[in-house]
Amino acid sequence: MATPSSSSSSSSSSIWVFSNIKLQFFGRIRRFLQSKATRKRCCESSDQFDKETIIVEHNKNKVENIETVQVIKKKHEEEEEEYEIVLQRSVKKLHFGSWEEKEVAAKEIEKLAKEEDVRVRKMITELGVVPVLVSMVASEVASRRRAGLTALIHLADGTYTNKALIVEAGILSKLPKTIGLLDESTISAFAELILSLSSLANTQFHFPSLDFLPLLRDILESGSSFDTKRSCLCALYNISTVLENANLLVSSGVVPILLELSAMKEISEKALATLGNLLVTMMGKKEIESSSVVPESFIKILSWEDRPKCQELSVYILMILAHQSSSQREKMAQAGIVPVLLEVVLLGSSLAQKRAMKLLQWFKDERQVKMGPHSGPQSPRFAMGSPVNQRDAKEGKKLMKSLVKQSLHRNMEIITQRANATEETSKLKSLVISTSSKSLPY
């Protein structure tokens, strides 16, 4: 049984610990305000310099100018004082207040972070607000979760340090796995925060986990807006730039989703770029090749004249699929890729043209190999100069010319029909019609 003396000592010990925490907290606030005061003195000296310059340059109106500077200076001091009071009150509530007070404080911190520069955002995080805001994001209360989420988004804006602190505070493990009953604005906020944090992948920062992948997949499969899905796709693209993450992305099941979204013009670009990053790994290439929509979906994208970047990415993916894969090249040929590539060579961007020409060369080389000498039964050979050989040769040449002419006319019709959409391609159409085949370079 505890004696009164032991109970008293335990109580005094807990009071001492709480007092120590409060002392540390107010010490942080004091240092922050001292830093603000130093910056204020710099502003005052700058204002004084400006005031003296004004007096020299405008000697006739010096009294009015001095009064104007003093009014501006006073207003600036009042704003600084008000800012310090709001920040001090908000941080105190966030650490020691009730949940309702924490929610109000998070909204005030969001407002301050939105209005101030990166340096001030870093100062705010130095006051230890990030862990509390992260715990609010994991809350089941919608308003509380929303307040913490938006505050973190603005604190992370433009600063590597704050993003790293948010990840280290365990935000990735506290994100929901599915969007469930979340409203569209909250879903959009989650996508925005993940996009902001995913930019760390382009630095030396190592993500402890990719626990947010199920949430991204759920958002991409939902009926969310294109802007929200675009944020998720950009986040996946950032993660896919790190080669070590490719297999984890593939195993999480994002490839079928990316293939589906790549067919939507509004968000196709980032989906194609992410597929291009995954395709350089064996696991990614195997997963993409096994899809029933490949290569037809990429060939269709080649006809998007109003999306040149998508054309470039699509032909790049087709090049990787076709490289050292006769089965893929055969699939592409059967899907009618050659006329589409010819169109890209004539009407595409410079990069798309180069890639399309390279791919066409592979099909040309493969056709020449197939048409070369082969083993097995051979047709009878006739002596050169014989009447039968000359007659067969003439008929063969005549038939070949007819086939080439028909193919050329057909391709030109397809190209000129699609070229009617813009003035530039209309000029190309008139040029093709008015030019004889003899004047073409090839």
Is the pLDDT confidence value at 375 over 50? no
Q: What share of the chain is helix, strand, coil (3-state, %, to 5)?
A: 75, 0, 25
State phi, psi for 26 to the nearest 5 degrees: -70, -25
Element of type H or E holding 91: helix 62-96
- At residue 389, the pLDDT reads 53
The pLDDT > 90 percentage for the chain reads 50
pLDDT in tens, 277-298: 999 999 999 999 999 999 999 9
Q: Between residues 176 and 40, which one has the greater pLDDT?
A: 176
Give the largest Cα separation in the chain, rounded.
128
- At residue 89, the pLDDT reads 87
Confidence of residue 189 (pLDDT cuts 50, 70, 90): very high
Mean local confidence (pLDDT), 329-345: 93
C-beta of residue 163 within 8 angstroms of C-beta of residue 152: no
- At residue 116, the pLDDT reads 75
Is the pLDDT confidence value at 148 over 90? yes
- At residue 214, the pLDDT reads 94
Spatial CA neighbour of 194 closest among 152, 245, 248: 152
Region of poorest pLDDT, from 70-79, 309-318, 377-386 = 377-386
d(CA 40, CA 55): 22
- At residue 236, the pLDDT reads 97
Q: Between residues 441 and 162, which one has the greater pLDDT?
A: 162
Length of the chain: 442
Confidence of residue 401 (pLDDT cuts 50, 70, 90): low
Mean local confidence (pLDDT), 328-342: 93
Confidence of residue 101 (pLDDT cuts 50, 70, 90): very high
C-beta of residue 270 within 8 angstroms of C-beta of residue 237: yes
- 381 burial class (0-12, 13-18, 19+ CB within 10 angstroms)? exposed
DSSP assignment of 44-87? HHHHHHHHHHHHHHTSTTHHHHHHHHHHHHHHHHHHHHHHHHHH
C-beta of residue 99 within 8 angstroms of C-beta of residue 140: no
Which alpha helices (H) appear in 203-267, and where do they start and end?
Answer: 213-221, 226-240, 246-251, 255-261
Best-predicted range by mean pLDDT (19-33, 177-191, 428-442) = 177-191
Confidence of residue 85 (pLDDT cuts 50, 70, 90): confident
Is the pLDDT confidence value at 399 over 60? no
- At residue 107, the pLDDT reads 93
Token pair in block for residue 114:
């939105």
Token pair in block for residue 237:
């693209």
- At residue 36, the pLDDT reads 53
C-beta of residue 182 within 8 angstroms of C-beta of residue 149: no
Mean local confidence (pLDDT), 410-438: 51
Region of poorest pLDDT, from 276-285, 334-343, 383-392, 430-439 = 430-439
Q: How far is CA 133 from the centre of its chain?
A: 25
Element of type H or E holding 12: helix 4-57
Average model confidence (pLDDT) for the chain?
Answer: 78
Q: Give, as one character, the DSSP assignment of residue 241.
A: T
Region of poorest pLDDT, from 119-133, 227-241, 392-406, 422-436 = 422-436
C-beta of residue 328 within 8 angstroms of C-beta of residue 322: yes
Is the pLDDT confidence value at 63 over 80? no
pLDDT in tens, 248-275: 999 999 999 999 999 999 999 999 999 9
- At residue 38, the pLDDT reads 53
d(CA 190, CA 216): 9
Mean local confidence (pLDDT), 210-232: 95
- At residue 199, the pLDDT reads 93
- At residue 407, the pLDDT reads 60
Mean local confidence (pLDDT), 232-260: 95
d(CA 84, CA 71): 20
Confidence of residue 379 (pLDDT cuts 50, 70, 90): very low
pLDDT in tens, 1-39: 444 444 444 444 444 444 455 556 556 665 655 555 555
d(CA 146, CA 183): 10
Q: What is the pTM of this model?
A: 0.70
3-state SS string over 366-431?
Answer: HHHHHCCCCCCCCCCCCCCCCHHHHHHHHHHHHHHHHHHHHHHHHHHHHHHHHHHHCHHHHHHHHH
